[in-house]
Homo-oligomer: A and B are copies of this chain.
């Protein structure tokens, strides 16, 4: 049983009031796919007292060092982009050379979402889409900043986009399950630690 590959489960759902329940559900689904899920909220209980934030950081990083791969919920959070905590962890795990899988519960591209939400204006002079502060909006058709999408695309499994209802924005697990299927394929054919070049 201890030989099951470990998946670090990152996402902004840790900020929901039923975070523990969602983490439990994700871990159960992982078990059904032959993986062991590691949910960061598990770390928070013992991390009490002063410097609680540093303790949580250390526990999460230690968990990522133990993990064989990660699944990242990159649904836009407090604006048009993904949660920075999750994105930091995507970078860190990639830097560790471990496979990362990602999903978003928004189907549209970054630019299309910003246009939809009236946050994008086309500038005739520069022939670019700009935000409210006149900073360029990437238009590669990606779900988010190119570094996030390309990190996953480079590994052969692009960011999974799924259209969830507003009420289930951070709890819909269809994209998560699709990532698990991709992880199962990868671990069946390549195995942990022997996969293609990460963070080339």
Contacts and interface: CB of A to CB of B under 8 A. Distances in A.
Interface of A: 12, 15-17, 52-54, 56-58, 60-62, 77-85, 87-96, 119, 126, 131, 133-138, 140, 142, 144-151, 153-154, 169-170, 199-200
Contact of A95 (B56, B94, B137): B94
B133 A169 contact: yes
A169 B133 CA distance: 10
Q: Copies of this chain, how many?
A: 2
Nearest 9 interchain pairs by C-beta: A95-B95, A91-B91, A79-B79, A57-B150, A15-B135, A85-B145, A91-B92, A53-B146, A53-B140
Of A54, A95, A131, A138, most B-chain CB atoms within 10 Å? A95
Contacts of A85: 145-148
Most buried by B among A15, A60, A62, A144: A15
Contact of A84 (B82, B96, B136): B82
Q: Which of the listed residues A90, A169, A170 has the most CB atoms from chain B within 10 Å of its own CB?
A: A90
Nearest to A144: B84
Given A57-B146, A93-B95, A133-B169, 13 more contacts: A16-B136, A17-B126, A17-B134, A53-B149, A54-B154, A58-B154, A84-B144, A84-B147, A85-B147, A87-B88, A88-B91, A88-B145, A94-B95
Contact of A57 (B53, B61, B151): B151
Contacts of A142: 53
21 contacts: A16-B134, A17-B134, A17-B136, A52-B140, A53-B138, A53-B146, A54-B153, A57-B151, A61-B200, A77-B81, A78-B79, A78-B119, A84-B145, A84-B147, A85-B146, A88-B88, A88-B90, A88-B148, A91-B93, A91-B94, A95-B96
